[in-house]
Amino acid sequence: MLKYFLGQSPTWYKYTILAFLIFNVISLFTLGPVVTAWIIILEFIFTLALALKCYPLQSGGLLAIQAIALGLTTPKHAYQEVAANLEVILLLVFMVAGIYFMKPLIMYIFSKVFTRIKSKILLSVLFVSISAVLSAFLDALTVTAVLISVAVGFYGVYHKIHSSSKDYDGDGVLDREELSGETLEEFRSFLRSLIMHGVVGTALGGVMTIVGEPQNLLIGERMGWEFIEFFIKMSPVTIPVFFVGILTTILLEKFRVFGYGAQLPDVAREIIEKYTEEADATRSAKEKYGLKVQAVCGILLIFGLAFHLAPVGFIGLALIILQTAFMGIVDEHALGHAFEEALPFTALLVVFFVIVAMIHDQHLFKPIIDWALSLPTGQQPAMFYVANGILSMISDNVFVATVYIGEVKEVFDNGGISREQFEKLAIAINTGTNLPSVATPNGQAAFLFLLTSALAPLINLSYMKMVKMAFPYTIVLGLIGLLCINLFIA
């Protein structure tokens, strides 16, 4: 049984998971349900941290099943968490599959961008800025799906050349020899830094508007804020943070620290340029027609998301239908490949919601909320920002914001705080759950999606490497956000 348990995972990892499962039963009867719930959270974080050793669905899923079996939450409450986040699940199932059919267009655009912009600093700033703007009007997961498609496609081009026996640059040396060893590692590092800049950009843009992140919408509804009002209320914190974030990107690339600064190797650039020129020259009439269909669907996608014509998942489904209908992709098996990327992560997200339900049922955050509300009103916004930030690093930021805004709304409804104070706390909750949560993949679904995607092993992006690369952003964005809360909000 041990041989097949968790497949190819290291033996020490298998024993560790089994030890967790045994210890949790002992813990429940000796330390009580609250302590056991905290232990399970730490164990679940451990499974995420070692996602490259074993996909967290199995090991994390066993912990989630045990949490229900031990009575730390119930299937009904776990289902309620899933139902409350149905829009995110539909987004993953359909939008990521919709983006799959747009890969040729995305690769066509970005291959031009990658090869023509020589400055890595400019390219990095472009990735952060575009990701931020798109996330402000669309949503972070959709933007991350696009970023992953770009990076996977670009790596695929590199791998295709690396596996061939051609000499695209005509220097008499086979390209696969020129693209091996240090050149390959440099290329991986180049992609890794760009994708991390991009996902941080989704957080910088997502915090600004009511549609940027799911919790923004929830907070906006509780406060009665529309799109423009929400943007204005958040702007004293979000605008300075955005520009400091761009400055951080420039400094990280200039000084080549925390895993940033890798350049696209010149030999790789030249070979890829020649490859893309050949691909453009040999593109068939059917492929050209496909690019036109994808471009029209891309415009419709941006229009539909920007004006919120339907839930994001429905727009993704419409994108699949339109592209496949007009490009003639009607074979069931051809459609199935589009869903392969997102469904394992969707299953993992449902497991994550079971852990969230356990946090809710055991009231793990309530003591912190009660303590923050007991402070003088002038200190409350800063403390709410810090508390939300820390909790969002270990739990889902949407859940943290949901719990906090619900508790504060209840206090406001009971006359415990003024409307003015209620608004200040809402701003602190929104910025606190969006900015410091970039610290780990636990806090933001976009980061977790990247960590568990097919791209992560290709570019050697592990949990700890993500934490290391996010660290400077976490410190800068977190502190500047706190400073702005103290100066402009409190």
**Residues 307, 311, 312, 315: what is their CA dihedral angle, to the nearest 10 degrees?**
-80
Question: Which token pair is 421?
Answer: 């104070």
pTM to 2 decimals?
A: 0.80
Higher pLDDT: 20 or 224? It is 20
**What is the pLDDT at residue 480?**
95
Q: Measured between alpha carbons, how far is residue 28 from residues 75, 250, 364, 460 in Å?
A: 19, 49, 15, 37
pLDDT of residue 227: 79
Q: Is 80 exceeded by the pLDDT of residue 11? A: yes
Mean pLDDT of the chain: 86
How much is the pLDDT for 181?
67
pLDDT higher than 60, residue 390? yes
Listed in sequence order, the DSSP H helices in 33-181 are: 33-49, 56-69, 75-84, 86-90, 96-100, 103-116, 120-137, 140-163, 175-178
pLDDT digits (tens, 9 = 90+) for 264-322: 887 777 777 777 888 788 888 998 999 999 999 988 988 887 777 888 789 889 999 99
Is the model's pLDDT at 167 over the cut of 60? no
In 362-418, alpha helices (H) = 366-373, 380-394, 397-413
Range of weakest confidence among 139-153, 168-182, 334-348: 168-182
446-488 residue pLDDT tens: 888 898 888 898 899 988 899 999 999 999 999 999 999 999 8
Q: How far apart are the first and last CA of the chain?
A: 58
User: In this structure, what DSSP letter does residue 15 have?
Assistant: H
| pLDDT higher than 70, residue 200 | yes
pLDDT per position as a tens digit, 347-376: 988 998 899 889 889 988 788 888 888 888
Please report, as a single letter, which amino acid is at residue 226: E
Does the pLDDT at position 235 exceed 80? Answer: yes
What percent of the chain stands above pLDDT 90? 39
- The mean per-residue pLDDT over the stretch 417-426 comes to 91
Q: Residue 196 pLDDT > 60, yes or no? A: yes
pLDDT per position as a tens digit, 40-87: 988 988 888 787 788 889 999 999 999 999 999 999 999 998 898 888
Q: What is the pLDDT of residue 180?
A: 63
Amino acid code (one letter) for 10: P
Q: How confident is the model at residue 179 (pLDDT cuts 50, 70, 90)?
A: low
Per residue in 106-165, pLDDT (tens digit) is 778 877 777 788 889 999 999 899 889 888 877 777 788 888 888 887 888 777 776 766
In this predicted structure, what is the pLDDT of residue 71? Answer: 94
The pLDDT of residue 442 is 79
